[in-house]
Amino acid sequence: MQNRDHHLLTLKDWSRERIQETIDLALQLKSDLKTKGPSDRLRGQTIGMFFEKPSLRTVTTFQVGIHQLGGEAIMLDPESIGLGKRESIADVSRCLSRWVNAIVVRCFKQELLEKLAEYGSVPVINALTDEFHPCQALAFGQTMVEHFGALRGRTVAFIGDGNNVANSLMILAAKTGMNFTLACPKGFEQPADLVEYASPIFAQNGGSYRVFNDPKEAVRDADILYSDVWVSMGQEEQKDSKQSHFLPFQINDSLLALAPQGCMVTHCLPAHRGEEITDAIMDSPRNLCFEEAENRLHAQKAVMCQLMQATLPR
């Protein structure tokens, strides 16, 4: 396997400097698209896309982004490939590495992603697993810079389950000097080993990590509230049991009123309106989720440019 920072498997593998460089490049690419149009940074490059989970934003933004950079995307059908069934993960990765220049993977198990990176020789990009969603975190970082000017010193309060999005946001916060607050029912916190990993990084970079079981306490000093569905893909059987725990953790007018006046809201989408977030908040000018969705396009382009060592214009 190449060095882990030759891939985007989790933001744990990326330095603070690389994260900031990627966000800066995403901002540049967004500006360039408006002023100069599409580029040829990935001209001649082909990216394979393997998606086990359904997608609107991720599949669209990667395909459109690859096209805008002059590359070509190839969708790899999970049923046809049969990873680990029809053929071993190692053999598939070795073959793909001889045909494509990078592999974008959206799957259930982080282990599958790790194995593709271990046996292949091209960059592997995590487009979502059950454990992490680094592209979403980078798009959030870009959105924060656009709205607040910087990441360091800002406070994000994640209201809901300690899930894959929360995990990646926490790592981003730790490495960029942000404060991260999780508000969740007891028993739905983030993995203890991940918190243990992040704690000294928060301390080193001047940020902080807190957990509240009362969302009202969590929002009092927040710059932005982050929401996600209470039941992630593949966990639908937990819907009834989870809803009873999470009902007090809805982002609504009453909760937002307890936050500072300039506090904003975002959501990784898709949103279950009326559950984790209300219509009034979703349609409010204080909601940045659609700006964040737009920035998925540019953040992921920046990731591909970084990992595929595309030639930047002079």
Known catalytic residue at 220: no
- The active-site residue out of 7, 106, 267, 298 is 106
Angle at 134 between CA 238 and CA 211, to 5 degrees: 60
- The active-site residue out of 20, 45, 68, 136 is 136
Known catalytic residue at 18: no
Known catalytic residue at 110: no
- The active-site residue out of 130, 161, 223, 228 is 228
- The active-site residue out of 107, 268, 289, 305 is 268
User: Is the CB of residue 100 less than 8 Å from the CB of residue 122?
Assistant: yes
Residues 74 and 210: their CA atoms lie apart, in Å, by 42
Residue 212: exposed, middle, or buried by beta-carbon count in 10 A (0-12, 13-18, 19+)? middle
Known catalytic residue at 296: yes
Known catalytic residue at 77: no
Looking only at the bridges linking them, the beta strands covering 264-267 and 224-227 are: parallel
Known catalytic residue at 133: yes
Measured in residues, the chain has a length of 314
Among residues 201, 181, 206, 207, which one has the least CA distance to residue 15? 201
Among residues 8, 75, 70, which one has the least CA distance to residue 42? 70
Q: In Å, how far are 36, 138, 295 from 31, measured between CA atoms? A: 8, 17, 11
Residues identified as active-site: 106, 133, 136, 228, 268, 296
